[in-house]
Amino acid sequence: MLPTPLQEVYPAVFNNRIVVAGAFEQTQKEFATLAHLKASDKSYIFDYGSQSWRRGPSLPEPRHHLGLIANNEKLYAIGGFNATRDNAWQVKSSVFVLSNETNSWSNGPELPIPMGESVYGLINGQIHVAGGRSVENGQLIDTSAHWVLKSGKWQKAAPLPIASNSAASVVIDNQWYVMGGRVNALDFKNLSSLWRYDVKRDLWESLAAMPQPSAGLASAVINGQIYAFGGEEYKFVKSKDGEKQMKTRTFDQIWRYDPKSNVWFTEQISMTSTRHGLGAVSLNGQIYILGGAMEAGATGTTAIVERFTLN
């Protein structure tokens, strides 16, 4: 179990340990900024040897949907949102850097624009950030922006084919795979798309669609196979009197993608519960599935940790 219930988790493996930082954490009503949640400034470190969690250095500021990615001897915490009761979605361009898990976070090179709910990849030793949400004229918007950190400065790269948020991604053989997500401007429409970024040609190509459109899902790689977990869906339907109503659901499915055959499979086993806003990382040939919420939105936040192992 996580030390506390968390959702909107973007974990990373750093120094052979799993690190979670920021996210929405469950709290008492008087401290909450969204339903029963608040943006966390805490970090937690999972040690594989002892199979236990401990507190890590606190972030300079609270963040949810904070993207973690490790590069060499540093861990980067990128973008995300701060939250107050007046505004739980204050998208940020900040970058925090941890050079050693026992030290404090320092400020890194800020993103050129604020970005949260993005995807993050390490390709040829360089950090890439793409998609998610940004801000324009004071309003949150989906973005297709794609930035790469080179020599301490962010540079533009080929944008995602569609502006969207809440996707998942993995890197295999220095190629970046981005799957799922949603387009808020299209009535929160979920995507089933799978895109692969070719860094040499600086372009995206479309691959086989997922079996189920999903947003707020998680993904990780073992044995050269991509596994995608859970997610949520918001769908508008018309009631009997013609009114527009939103229906929501969350998923417990596990999907597998084989890059060699460009084919998706739905695994026979599922997670122990439906969840979105969960995180997933690969460590020592196993996938750890962390936290999330069992219901769409800000309800049913959990501390569950599942370990996915191939027979």
Q: pLDDT per residue over 87-112, tens digit each?
A: 999 999 999 999 976 689 999 999 99
Strand partners, 129: 120, 147
Question: Which 8-state DSSP code applies to residue 298?
Answer: T
pLDDT at position 244, please? 83
Mean pLDDT within 57-61:
97
pLDDT computed for residue 102 by the predictor: 65
Q: Considering the chain, what is the average pLDDT of its residues?
A: 96
SS3 percent helix, strand, coil of the chain, rounded to 5, is 0, 50, 45
Question: Cα separation of 164 and 143, whole Å?
Answer: 6
Q: What is the pLDDT of residues 255-265, one digit of tens each?
A: 999 999 999 99
What pLDDT does residue 236 have? 86
The strand pair at 194-198 and 90-91 is best described as unpaired
291-298 average pLDDT score: 95
Give residue 238's pLDDT.
Answer: 78
- Tokens coding 30: 């008087």
pLDDT number for residue 101? 65
> What pLDDT score does 311 carry?
77
- Among 64-73, 234-243, 263-272, 280-289, name the one with the lowest average pLDDT: 234-243
pTM: 0.97
The answer, yes or no, to whether residue 43 has pLDDT greater than 80, is yes
Task: Give tens-digit pLDDT for 165-189.
Answer: 999 999 999 999 999 999 999 999 9
More confident site: 153 or 242: 153
With a pLDDT cut of 70, the percent of the chain lying above it is: 99
* Assigned architecture for domain 6-308: 6 Propeller (2.120)
Q: How far is CA 250 from CA 182, 199, 231, 297, in A?
A: 14, 33, 6, 9
CB neighbour class for 267 (10 Å; exposed up to 12, middle 13-18, buried from 19): middle
**N- to C-terminal Cα distance for the chain?**
23
What is the arithmetic mean of pLDDT over 206-234?
98
Residues contacting residue 113 through CB under 8 Å, at least 6 positions apart: 93, 134, 135, 143, 145
Please tell me the predicted confidence (pLDDT) of residue 256: 99
Separation between Cα atoms, residue 188 and residue 41, nearest integer Å: 28
Give the per-residue pLDDT at 73: 87
pLDDT at 181: 99
pLDDT score for 84: 95
